[in-house]
Structure 1
């Protein structure tokens, strides 16, 4: 197996940054086009585009290809190649300008960022990139709410978020290529936040006109590939952007085939119908030492899986602590994940500012869990419902294993399996008592790992947890660029979250795998889970 590890360069977020953009349209609707017709049209389109068509297996997102609406990494795997943000975090963890002529400048008081757009950049529909498009796109992200908190320190954020204003007053357009972002208070990870796929820049006029069709039948970006078609249940077809501002694009196109079953994906790879396929951890032992071992690659995303506790349903800290000791993390990694993961009880893993080696790594101790439950008044046992999204088979496996483990501690677990739509609705309404989630950094900063559980931000994990000290630490952490201070701040925040309040129970950090044909060159997945084929080539 060939292993690709990515270093985490912990430089100041003030001098780092970066991201990617979108494309194309297809006028037929799903109701008007059969899967066979769509596939045939896509094949014809791909053949006419050229010979170098990279074929990638992908799960079916079943939602618009719009990272401002969803946080699913499987959408990002596609949109990384069509849409771009102002900046990009490279594989070394450093920020680079993407749609900017140079890195932004920052005023002495750390409150005003000045930007200059790159000249001559056009969207896939031919419209030129302007400062107005930037302002529109970032305001749209706030209005869509999913990841609005990335810009919460920008002047005027709260009024726009609350619907009291129509614009984000802190984004000031100077002319077509120059704009400023004024901060209400210092926020040192801003440039890193702008490098995420959620801050993709869209053409204002076209995006607004498309309405709900954006990301389905219409999607225009500035990226190296343009959207030809997106058919739920079938796949996505992209073609080379001949006018790409970032240099030569070697591939003629990318063809994504939606294959939800991991075994089927590998089978299609072995048949020669797929060039790149992500490997389920359950399949790793089969191929790690087999005939495909030289085509097996790995990467280590910064993040991992955890249990999240809705503190409204489980208000007693001792109960949540008991659940932490009722999990056998080592067994999860060895048996359920076949040795492809590392047990961890800390939310921040090694490589991020704030990570600590001296905090307790919780061992499986059902007897201690029973004692804690008894102290909380549950000497006769405790009933717990764990809800999982069936879109992610790993979550179902974890829940089933945890169900058996917790039984030894007197915790009777009911595993509730729901689809993606129900999962989203239940999280919003507080209907998830205990969920299994996974989270990975979007940029190389501890704020990126911790902000989903921060009070006052979008509650991605449905824990409804508040702690005054934690909240203040999260404020302090983004107002300084001193790494030593930030290490102390975020280490304490992690301690409160996972070792004092037990609002979440971290389970493990994982290694992920994919198979890649030998003739696919110059491509690898980064630690931020970014999947970009801009420099990839096919050499047969």
Structure 2
């Protein structure tokens, strides 16, 4: 989203979510991972051997090498990890890079990747990460701990700060780097070539959980400086696929990294085909020109009934929230709680989920979706209640909508948001609110919402990692760049930091639940539904797992034909 992450590119506004990181020596706990024998053997496979393998189609169902996986994509904003702040760029970046950690596709637990092992100090403030040896950037330079120091410092420094910098806010020295009073991130140090130490400002219980996010990926300083302002277009990663080309608004091409330190990919490469319209991409899939795409809005039943498509459908809940944002620092939403409440009461979420989304999604009952530890049933009091909406509209000073100017909703085109916007347009009309809708290209939509040019907009947030903090801190902490609604409450800021610092999980969850209910009572924006995903993949594609955060690893994928 994810955020979207993750800002979520397939939606009007997607806020991608991001993560935070830290390290040090002194041990309270340690986690160890070793390179497996299979990985070591795979690391010795030559390009010639890989080429030979891809001609060996097996009859036993075992993976075979070869082929190009063609994936539908919307135009990304950037392929530079700290600037890939939306879902489209993030999914490409995840194929080009590895991070300290990744997420298990089934359990979503963190799994060490570039991290050999790590230790946590007794006071929970210092983390020490031991980096795998022999890992190389695609340009040939060996990865060292200093690359993490450079990368994370670059994310937060005032002059180079990433949109996602707030994910590193728990690290010591963050504030000074952000305001320009320091040119270093003092909490991040390379003790030697393969030992990274991170010191936090306060204990952050979920810290390691955040480290699978792309904002923490290591970049090569030499490549970044050589690329200049083109750094987002010529990535130099550490992962199983290497970047080849990006033809804007057409395609992005990747090729297998035969010098990869781990298990090499089976695929020869990946072709991301950039198509802005969901329906057009689906037609290309049906014509055999794509291996993976979205199922367009309204076509779930037909796809599941199609003998040629039904076995490739991927439909399940995901950790995400779809909502309508309102800029709380702009009229008419500013200081008008009753107006915001009227809008929320007026929306028929069940109708949207059942009719438009064909049961793929479920009505939002709060900000944090099911599947996140700490999810609370019916966290918000708002239900579909047109009469209450009319009452609130009158309290707001606009009886039957009189005196209220037309609300202009912005959304990103091509992903089915028009139909939903039209349904909500009709809901609001029933209580006297006139709403006009206007679609924009994805990047333009994000810019206009961030600048305040659009004050009523559709957003989506997909989990970067499965914690309540990723939804509440990212979307509502006053200094978070994913806080598009410009919500600001000093008490909530304090409660969020207090929750982050609470070691006991039950106590921490209780504090986050308190924060969620507080923000819901302020009607910070209009929750619409909890996401479900609806994708389709060719049945000859094997080893493809699309997890509940909409992540996937193409290194495990192989083509049966």
Q: Is the 8 A contact 1:17 1:191 kept in 2?
A: no
Partner of 1:126: 140
Does residue 257 (structure 1) correspond to residue 279 (structure 2)? The answer is: no
Query: Structure 2 vs 1, CA of residues 519 and 15 (structure 1 numbering), >3 Å: closer, same or farther?
Result: farther
- TM superposition shift of 1:538: 1.3
- Find the aligned partners of 2:439 and 2:113 in 1 and give their Cα distance: 41
- Find the aligned partners of 1:373 and 1:384 in 2 and give their Cα distance: 14
Equivalent residue in structure 1 for 2:291, among 275, 281, 288: 275
- Find the aligned partners of 1:16 and 1:449 in 2 and give their Cα distance: 27
Partner of 1:155: 172
Partner of 2:343: 323
Mapping of residues 72-151 of structure 1, within 5 Å: 72-91=86-105, 92-102=107-117, 104-142=118-156, 143-151=160-168
- Find the aligned partners of 1:294 and 1:99 in 2 and give their Cα distance: 35
Mapping of residues 432-443 of structure 1, within 5 Å: 432-443=454-465
Equivalent residue in structure 2 for 1:335, among 355, 374, 377: 355
Residue deviations 1:377-422, cap 9 Å, x none?
Answer: 2114133524323345333332221111011112121223333344
Partner of 2:393: 373
Partner of 1:10: none
Q: Is the 8 A contact 2:69 2:267 kept in 1?
A: no
Partner of 1:8: none
Q: Is the 8 A contact 1:58 1:74 kept in 2?
A: no
Does residue 357 (structure 1) correspond to residue 377 (structure 2)? The answer is: yes
Partner of 2:532: 511
- TM superposition shift of 1:233: 2.3
- Find the aligned partners of 2:250 and 2:224 in 1 and give their Cα distance: 24
Does residue 189 (structure 1) correspond to residue 210 (structure 2)? The answer is: no
- Find the aligned partners of 1:287 and 1:60 in 2 and give their Cα distance: 22
Mapping of residues 408-423 of structure 1, within 5 Å: 408-423=430-445
Equivalent residue in structure 2 for 1:469, among 482, 485, 491: 491
Does residue 200 (structure 1) correspond to residue 214 (structure 2)? The answer is: no
Does residue 232 (structure 1) correspond to residue 248 (structure 2)? The answer is: yes
SS at match of 2:197: strand
- Find the aligned partners of 2:359 and 2:440 in 1 and give their Cα distance: 28
Partner of 1:32: none
Partner of 2:555: 534
- Find the aligned partners of 1:95 and 1:305 in 2 and give their Cα distance: 25
Query: Structure 2 vs 1, CA of residues 473 and 15 (structure 1 numbering), >3 Å: closer, same or farther?
Result: farther
Does residue 494 (structure 1) correspond to residue 516 (structure 2)? The answer is: yes
Mapping of residues 374-393 of structure 1, within 5 Å: 374-381=394-401, 382-391=404-413, 393=415
Partner of 2:19: none
SS at match of 1:393: coil
- TM superposition shift of 1:228: 1.0
SS at match of 1:518: coil
Mapping of residues 203-218 of structure 1, within 5 Å: 203-216=220-233, 218=234
Query: Structure 2 vs 1, CA of residues 127 and 391 (structure 1 numbering), >3 Å: closer, same or farther?
Result: farther
Q: Is the 8 A contact 1:17 1:194 kept in 2?
A: no
- TM superposition shift of 1:482: 1.6
- Find the aligned partners of 1:423 and 1:531 in 2 and give their Cα distance: 26
Partner of 2:452: 430
SS at match of 1:205: helix
Q: Is the 8 A contact 2:130 2:195 kept in 1?
A: yes
Does residue 456 (structure 1) correspond to residue 471 (structure 2)? The answer is: no
Partner of 1:520: 541
Q: Is the 8 A contact 2:30 2:119 kept in 1?
A: no
- Find the aligned partners of 2:538 and 2:528 in 1 and give their Cα distance: 33
Partner of 2:39: none
Does residue 309 (structure 1) correspond to residue 323 (structure 2)? The answer is: no
- Find the aligned partners of 1:160 and 1:430 in 2 and give their Cα distance: 26
SS at match of 1:428: helix
Query: Structure 2 vs 1, CA of residues 361 and 17 (structure 1 numbering), >3 Å: closer, same or farther?
Result: farther
Q: Is the 8 A contact 1:88 1:97 kept in 2?
A: yes
- Find the aligned partners of 2:184 and 2:316 in 1 and give their Cα distance: 40
Residue deviations 1:24-80, cap 9 Å, x none?
Answer: xxxxxxxxxxxxxxxxxxxxxx9xx98722332323325332231132111122121
- TM superposition shift of 1:221: 0.7
- Find the aligned partners of 2:249 and 2:310 in 1 and give their Cα distance: 30
Query: Structure 2 vs 1, CA of residues 242 and 534 (structure 1 numbering), >3 Å: closer, same or farther?
Result: same
Query: Structure 2 vs 1, CA of residues 58 and 363 (structure 1 numbering), >3 Å: closer, same or farther?
Result: same
- TM superposition shift of 1:145: 2.8
Query: Structure 2 vs 1, CA of residues 185 and 359 (structure 1 numbering), >3 Å: closer, same or farther?
Result: closer
SS at match of 2:318: coil
Gap runs ≥5 in structure 2 = 1-21, 23-28, 34-50, 56-64
- Find the aligned partners of 2:444 and 2:282 in 1 and give their Cα distance: 29
TM-score (norm 2): 0.84
Equivalent residue in structure 2 for 1:400, among 410, 422, 428: 422
Q: Is the 8 A contact 1:305 1:438 kept in 2?
A: yes
Gap runs ≥5 in structure 1 = 1-12, 19-45
SS at match of 1:230: strand
- Find the aligned partners of 2:507 and 2:150 in 1 and give their Cα distance: 35
Query: Structure 2 vs 1, CA of residues 384 and 140 (structure 1 numbering), >3 Å: closer, same or farther?
Result: farther
